[in-house]
Amino acid sequence: MNLSFEKSRPGRYFPVIPPLDVPEAALPDGMTRAAPPRLPEMAPPDISRHYARLARRTYGVNDGLYPLGSCTMKYNPKVNDEIANLPGFTGIHPLQPESAVQGCLEVLAESERLLCEITGMDAMTFQPAAGAHGEFTGVLLIKAYHDARGDGARDKIIAPDSAHGTNPATAGMTGYRVINVPSNGDGGVDLDALRAAAGPDTAGLMLTNPNTLGIFDRNILEITRIIHDAGGMCYYDGANLNAIMGIARPGDMGFDVIHLNLHKTFSTPHGGGGPGAGAVGCKARLSRFLPSPRAAKTGESYVFEAPEESVGRVTAFNGNFLVVVRALAYILTLGADGIPDAARNAVLNANYMMRKLSDIYDVAYPGTCMHEFVLTLERLKNDCGVSAMDVAKALLDRGIHPPTMYFPLIVKEALMIEPTETESRETLDHAVAALREIYDAAGTNPEILRNSPHTTPVRRPDEVNAARRPRLRYDFGS
Ligand SMILES: *Cc1c(COP(=O)(O)O)cnc(C)c1O
């Protein structure tokens, strides 16, 4: 397919900017370009077709199953988008006085109340723009807490080897040393190793639960007790709340801080690089450190408040507010019955798919999974020379988006599958049939799998170069 630059014809330009109807003002020296930008010149029908053609080549949850583990690529009700698009939400300016945006402050305060109820926390901020940003904010709260007590000796954060990669990364960014603890045979945290790691230098623990193996740690209460006994704080990575929302509350498990990915669980799609919200909740003893400002109700009206010992702002203004609007619309539509129902169906769908595959594929940690499960294709690789990558690419030829590959790192040839609650049994059966067919093909015709995909516009891109040296500009050649 040609680029718009290649389709460009001189003079096909059509005016999109209305004629100037105010006095012309000169721009400051050094701020004007020497030559006009070389933009493609195309007629409206050709532009329209160009983008329609591109849109047909993308793949999203509206096209089919998107079982990308740890991403919760589920169907997000369109009505929540419509609500977030109401002019009262999209037409506001962050510098408007509080009196002019009472409804928006109410959205923030009400979302905080409901999400605190779901997580068992006492206060929440919606400033962080992503999950990893939320982790960073949450670890800042832990640091502020120890600093405020004059306890400067705690310079380590413990993270299990089954944690999401962002956990050790954010702990490191906050200036902490990261201590890794291994998993036990069931895929949970090794308690003896945790006891050995915890001590007077422990600032806290960062735990992803359910972890990246899709397993809910059955020792969760003991884990938080060990950390608290050592004087540390417990951080819960709740990016994947889909499996437990409305059923179990991290606050009741002993956690002090949590982040949620509203752009996974709560009705904003994840993965398109679009705006997100890594809401951070905490227990009352940490709330005075939360980012400033926070929406609160005083009497009959809503105001912005500054927590006494705030860690400061972590984003411009109030984060990605419309993501919070969608989350509130989602929670209010599902209600107290619908939220746990969605979680149960997410767990049911993952277990259904896992059981339908486990007689031929090896499940990394067999047993009941939560919202996702991890296959290890090590045996297939050794026996047939077909890797997790080959299986993922072969799924593309069958019209199915591949699962997450080569993650978590502690599983060899990993495929991490998260079907989500919004898929029908027929869709799951179709994906199971495709994976079983690919498994058979690995025995009879591995070559065809090693060369897949055969049907996509781009076959196997050089992923390292695409990530490290992306070509994002058109090369005019002169
Ligand atoms: C997605 C995810 C994150 C990171 O969220 P981003 O919004 O991509 O920064 C962190 N932890 C877990 C467990 C996740 O699944």
Any atom of ligand 1 within 6 Å of the Cβ of 67: no
Residue 478: the pLDDT is 67
Say if residue 300's pLDDT is above 70: yes
Tell me the C-alpha distance between 48 and 288, whole Å: 52
On the question of pLDDT at 67 being above 80, the answer is yes
- Comparing 9-18, 20-29, 259-268, the range with the smallest average pLDDT is 9-18
Closest CA relative to residue 76, chosen from 334, 401, 354: 334
With CA atoms as reference, report the closest residue to 434 among 410, 473, 477, 399.
399
Does ligand 1 come within 6 angstroms of the Cβ of 131? yes
Res. 272: pLDDT tops 70: no
Q: Say how many Å lie between the CA of residue 181 and the centre of ligand 1.
A: 20
Query: Taking the CA of residue 63 as centre, how many other CA atoms within 13 Å lie in the half-sphere pointing to its CB?
Result: 13
Q: On the CB side of 239, how many CA atoms lie within 13 Å of its CA?
A: 30
Ligand 1 neighbourhood includes 292 CB (under 6 angstroms) = no
The whole-number pLDDT of residue 324 equals 98
Looking at domain 335-466, its CATH architecture is: Alpha-Beta Complex (3.90)
Whether residue 70 has its Cβ less than 6 Å from ligand 1: yes
Instruction: Please identify, by atom number, the ligand 1 atom nearest to the C-alpha of residue 70.
Output: 15
Residue reference for tokens 């930008």: 37
Q: Whose CA is nearest to atom 5 of ligand 1?
A: 131
Q: Is the pLDDT of residue 273 over 70?
A: no
Report the C-alpha gap between 355 and 25 in whole angstroms.
69
Is pLDDT at 392 greater than 80 in this prediction?
yes
Share of the chain above pLDDT 90, in %: 85
Could you tell me if the CB of 276 is within 6 A of ligand 1?
A: yes
Distance CA(447)–CA(449), nearest Å, equals: 5
Dihedral (C-alpha) 123, 310, 159, 165: value to the nearest 10 degrees? 90
CB 291 within 8 A of CB 125: yes
Q: Is residue 265 within 6 Å of ligand 1 at its C-beta?
A: no
pTM score: 0.92
**What's the CA gap between 356 and 362, in Å, rounded?**
12
- Phi, then psi, of 396 in degrees rounded to 5: -60, -40
Tell me the CA–centroid distance for residue 135 and ligand 1, in Å.
Answer: 9
Structural Rg of the chain based on CA atoms: 25
Say whether pLDDT at 414 is over 80: yes
Report the percent of the chain where pLDDT is more than 70.
99
- Give 319-372 pLDDT, tens digit per residue: 999 999 999 999 999 999 999 999 999 999 999 999 999 999 999 998 899 999
Residue with more model confidence, 459 or 16: 459
How many whole angstroms from 285 Cα to the centroid of ligand 1? 25
Cis peptide leading into residue 293 (ω within 30°): yes
Distance from the first to the final alpha carbon of the chain: 22
Question: Which of the four pLDDT bands, split at 50, 70 and 90, describes residue 269?
Answer: confident
Region of poorest pLDDT, from 132-141, 449-458, 463-472: 463-472
Compute the distance from residue 49 Cα to the ligand 1 centre, in Å. 35
Report the residue among 127, 133, 162, 166 best suited for mutation to probe ligand 1: largest number of ligand atoms under 8 A from its CB.
Answer: 166
pLDDT value of residue 413:
97
CA 92 to ligand 1 center in whole angstroms:
29
282, β-bridge pairs: 123, 257
- Among the four given CATH numbers 3.40.50.1100, 3.40.50.410, 3.40.50.300, 3.40.640.10, the one describing domain 79-334: 3.40.640.10
- Cα 282 off chain centre by: 20
**Given strand 257-261, what is the order of strands in its sheet?**
123-125, 278-282, 257-261, 233-238, 202-208, 156-160, 177-181
Closest CA to 237 of 270, 261, 204: 261
Locate the domains of the chain by residue range: 79-334, 335-466
Separation of CA 263 from chain center: 6
Q: Is the CB of 127 under 6 A from ligand 1?
A: no
Query: What CA dihedral angle connects 326, 331, 334 and 338, to 10 degrees?
Result: 130
Indicate if ligand 1 lies below 6 Å from the C-beta of 164. yes
- According to DSSP, the residues that pair with 278 across neighbouring strands are 261
Which pLDDT does position 238 carry in this prediction? 96
Residue 185's pLDDT band, with cuts at 50, 70 and 90, is confident
- What is the model's pLDDT at position 472? 86
Give the residue, by CA position, lying nearest to ligand 1 atom 15: 70
Residue of 170, 261, 262, 409 to test ligand 1 pocket, by largest number of atoms within 8 Å of CB: 261
Range of weakest confidence among 90-99, 161-170, 235-244, 374-383: 161-170
pLDDT tens per residue, range 229-260: 999 999 999 999 999 999 999 999 999 999 99
For residues 453 and 397, the answer to whether their CB atoms sit within 8 Å is yes
The whole-angstrom separation of Cα 271 and Cα 124 is: 24
Q: Is the Cβ atom of 132 under 6 angstroms away from ligand 1?
A: yes
* Cβ–Cβ under 8 Å, residues 162 and 185: no
Mean pLDDT of the chain: 95
If you ran DSSP here, which 8-state letter would residue 311 be given?
-
Residue 341: both structure tokens together: 């129902």
Amino acid at 247: I
Does 400 score more than 80 pLDDT? yes
Pocket test residue of 73, 164, 170, 236 for ligand 1, highest count of atoms within 8 A of CB: 164
- 150 exposed, middle or buried (CB, 10 Å; 0-12, 13-18, 19+)? exposed
What band does 163 get if pLDDT is binned at 50, 70 and 90? Answer: confident
Question: How far, in Å, from the CA of 382 to the mean position of ligand 1?
Answer: 32
Q: Which atom of ligand 1 is nearest to the CA of 135?
A: 10
pLDDT in tens, 99-128: 999 999 999 999 999 999 999 999 999 999
pLDDT band at residue 215, thresholds of 50, 70 and 90?
Answer: very high
